[in-house]
A and B are shown apart, each in its own frame.
Chain A
Amino acid sequence: MTHTEKQRKAPDKTVPKKRSRDSVCQATGAHMGTVDFGFLVSVMLLLVLGLIMVFSASYPSAYYQFGNGFYFIQKQFLWAVIGVGAMIVTAKFDYHKYKKYAVPILVVCVLLLLAVLVAGISNKGAKRWLGFGSISFQPSELAKIGLIIYFAYSMSTIKGKIKEFRYLVRYWAVLGFFVVLLLLEPHFSVCIIIGLTSVVMMLVAGARVRYFAIAALPVIPVGVWMAIFEPYRLQRLITFTDPFKDRLGDGWQIIQSLYAIGSGGLFGVGFGNSRQKFMYVSEPQNDFIFSIICEEMGLIGAVAILALFGYMIYRGIRIAMDAPDSFGSLLVIGVVALVGIQTVLNIAVVTSSIPTTGIPLPFFSAGGSSLVFLMAAMGIVMNVSKHKKQASI
Chain B
Amino acid sequence: MTMEKPKRKLQIRMLVMFVVFAFCLGALGVRLVFLQVIDGPKLQREAIEQQTRDNIVTSKRGTIFDRNRKVLAQSSSVETVTANPNEIRKAKKDAAKIAAELSVVLEMDAAEIQKLLDKQTNHVTIKRKIDVEVATRVRELDLVGVYLQEDSKRYYPYGNFASHVIGFTGTDNTGLGGIEMVYDEALRGVPGRVIALKNALDTDMPFQEETHIDPQNGTNVVLTIDEVIQHFAEKHLETVFREEKVQQGAAAIVMDVETGEILAMTVKPDFDLNHPFELVDEEEKARIDAITNEEERNKERSNALQKMWRNKAVVDSYEPGSCFKIFTASMALEEGIVSVTTPFFCPGYKEVAGRKIACANRNGHGAQSFKDGVKNSCNPVFIEVGQMVGPDLFKKYYRAFGFTETTGFDLPGEANGVFYGDSNFGLMELSTSAFGQGPKVTPLQMIAAVGAVANGGELLKPYLVKELVDDDGNVLKSYEPTVVRQVISSETSELMCSLLENVVTNGSGQNAYIKGFRLAGKTGTSEKIPRGNGKYVSSFIGFAPADDPKVVCLVMLDEASNGEYYGGRIAAPVVGKIMDDVLNYMKIEPQYTEEEKENLDVYVPDVRGKSTQAAIKDVRAQNLTYTIVGGGETVKDQMPKAGSNMTANSTVILYTEDNTDNKVTVPNVLNLSLNEVQASLSANKLNLNVSSAGATGSTSQRTIAIRQDPAPGTVLEAGSIVRVEFRFLDVD
Contact = CB atoms under 8 A, between A and B. Distances in A.
Interface of A: 60, 63-64, 159-160, 200, 203-206, 258-266, 275-276, 278-280, 294, 298-299, 302-303, 306-307, 309-310, 313-314, 317, 320-321, 325-326, 329, 333, 337, 340, 343-344, 347-348, 351, 353
A265 B40 contact: yes
A103 to B, nearest CB: 23
* In the complex, the 8 A-B pairs of residues with the closest C-beta atoms, listed nearest first: A262-B43, A278-B199, A279-B200, A259-B47, A299-B36, A344-B24, A204-B13, A280-B200
21 contacts: A205-B10, A206-B6, A206-B9, A206-B10, A259-B50, A261-B32, A261-B36, A262-B44, A263-B44, A264-B36, A265-B41, A266-B36, A278-B51, A280-B51, A299-B33, A299-B36, A303-B29, A310-B21, A326-B6, A329-B10, A333-B14
B28 interface: yes
Given A206-B9, A310-B21, A326-B7, A258 B35 contact: yes
Given A348-B24, A351-B35, 5 more contacts: A200-B17, A203-B13, A265-B37, A317-B18, A348-B31
Interface of chain A, main secondary structure: helix
Contacts of B199: 60, 64, 278-280
Most buried by A among B7, B10, B27, B197: B10
A229 B684 CA distance: 112
Interface in B204-248: 205-206
B203 to A, nearest CB: 9
Interface in B40-83: 40-44, 46-48, 50-51
Contact of A314 (B18, B42, B50, B200): B18
Interface of chain B, main secondary structure: helix
B13 A265 contact: no
B6 A302 contact: no
Assign chain B's interface to a size class. 35 or more
B85 to A, nearest CB: 17
Contacts of A298: 36
Contacts of B41: 262, 265
Nearest to B201: A279
Nearest to A321: B11
Contacts of A329: 7, 10, 14
B14 A262 contact: no
Nearest to A344: B24
A79 to B, nearest CB: 26
Given A160-B6, A206-B9, A306-B28, A63 B206 contact: yes
Nearest to B18: A317
A299 B35 CA distance: 9
B32 A351 contact: yes
Most buried by B among A203, A205, A333, A351: A351
A351 B28 contact: yes
A389 B679 CA distance: 146
Contact of A64 (B11, B18, B36, B201): B201
B39 interface: yes
B201 A263 contact: no
B15 interface: yes
A159 B24 contact: no
B28 A353 contact: yes
Contacts of B14: 204, 317, 320-321, 329, 333
Contacts of A278: 51, 197, 199-200, 205
Contacts of B43: 258-259, 261-263
B108 interface: no
Contact of B31 (A276, A313, A314, A353): A353
A206 B10 CA distance: 7
B25 interface: yes
B22 interface: yes
Contacts of A343: 25
Contacts of B31: 348, 351, 353
A54 B29 CA distance: 22
Contact of B10 (A64, A204, A299, A309): A204
A111 to B, nearest CB: 32
B28 A206 contact: no
A262 B42 contact: yes
B10 A303 contact: no
A288 to B, nearest CB: 13
A122 to B, nearest CB: 25
